[in-house]
Structure 1
Amino acid sequence: MIKPISKLCATLLLAGLLLTSFTLHAAEENITAAKVLSLTNPVNTYGVQIGDKLSRKIVLEVPVPYKIAEGAFPKKGSKSNGVELVDVNVITDQQKAHTLYTVNLSYQAFTNPNKPTVMQLPAEKLALTGGTKAEALEVPAWGFWLSPIVTGGIETAQKNIQPDAMPPLVDIRAHKTRLGVFLSMLIASLLGLLYMNADGNWLPFMGGAFAKAHRQLKRMAKSTAAKTAVEEKQALVYVHQAFNQHYGANMFARDIEHFVSLRPSFKKMKTEIAAFFDASNQSLYAVEPRNSQKIIADLAQLSKQLRDCERGV
């Protein structure tokens, strides 16, 4: 009775060991089940020429604890049969049970055959690390037709060389006209400002009697010397001389109405002209000391206003 029971136990033990082995093997298979979720190749497999960029996008799913080491990805600058890898971009998304790798590869063909040729983007093999055994994911090659830029050799190219096309000429006559108008307006504006504000007589009609009187009075007012009654009377003489020159005779206060009728541009200064003649009479007959410094400065300002009337501004 003991021997059959021992055989039964041994059989059950052996079955349990076999079942455990199969379970562990299946679990390990599930753990290492890394896969390519998607592979996006270029749209066209024809019409590719030298220098064209061809891009591939690969999405990989790698279960934990496996991973793809950084050094396992293709290296930028690597070449294979006339195709160069010019850009590599890897995006890693770590999740609970697995890691997603999005790999963007950009290639360029740097060969120029004489006739259409079949070429391919190289297959890639990505080694996995972190597990109990060596694993790798394989990305298949992708074929395409490379078309020559021209058929034939250098002789054919030399025969078909075209001269450089001259760029079309731009008609700038309208721009020249506008530029001329704008320059004329600028020059006229500058001359106008110069005419209205300059103390010199560089332009015609700038050397009038009041312009000359204003230069003399301005020079006298800027002098640092003390002003006396003598300088004050001389300043009054400058203005009187300018009035006399415009009037054509010696001008007095009673002649103001006649003067502004002859020179309408001075009409707006009629009140100031009358005040000047009144102040001049007071200066000639005054016996008390006066502020000659202020009187000369006021006469310089008055002469500037009369100069503007003289210039019609």
Structure 2
Amino acid sequence: MCACLGVLMWSGIGTAGAEEDPAPIVAQVSDPRAFGHLVGDMLTRTIVLDVPDRLRLDEASLPSTGRIGQSFELRRVERSWLPTLTGRRYTLVLDYQVFRAPREPSVLDLPSFTLHFAGTPRAEELRIDFAPVGMTPLAPVEAPLRAGLGNLRPDAPPPRVDTRPERLRLGLYALLALLPLGHLAMVYLGWPWWQRRHRPFARARRRMQELPVTGPTGEWLEAWRALHVALDATANRVLHAGAVDRFVAERPAYAALRGDLALFFERSERFFFGGQIPIEADRLWLREFCQRCFDAERGAG
């Protein structure tokens, strides 16, 4: 009876030693300071885990990067581990960036999460609690009523910029650009226009248009001589009645005026050598004849 009781007692002692609690997970969390943060700041949480050899961290339970609500964004998750005498030491580094800009001082919470560990005799979990973060506004809601710090500030006068060098340079560029343009305008517009106005019949036509039909006889005789001068300049020699055929042959543009040319020389002989005076019909005819000569001159180029 006593021997059996001793065996039972010894067996009970051995069983009690075999059912001791396994080593737990030890966590050390280093959080950022709890005050004085601004929008855009980077906040780092460092978590050191001493995990016994019987457990292994399930990496799928680690927080994933990305936006967390309207206050934070998890930018980086870094994991590393080292072996220890009793298991492994994991080091987790989590970088959060602040995205909220409060109008008044406030406290935000870095999110909590749960880590999963696989092992024997059973899987385990470890909750990493939230961390309070004090936020400071960028500026006070109402600025102090001091010069330059009120709600409305006077517009600053625009700075004065000396544009004289730029204006001088632009003027020089414009002048250099106008020189070839002016040359082209003179060659293709000015000089042809000047030549047209100073052709022989063009000059005679302008003089005859300014002369009234009832003007003095002497002025009309001068107009008749001006038309003789225009004919001589066009023929490049003194033109008379006997040279009309040669003139028309050399300048076909005036072929339609052969009869008018002969009539012109006939009337000239009567007025300058016969003593007759050009009447109103003669003056009108001379003006029309001068116009036809001008048209032929213009058609000849």
Query: After TM superposition, is the score higher than 0.5?
Result: no
Which of the five TM-score ranges fits, normalised by the shorter chain?
0.3 to 0.5
TM, length-normalised to structure 1: 0.43
Q: Which has the larger radius of gyration?
A: 2
TM, length-normalised to structure 2: 0.44
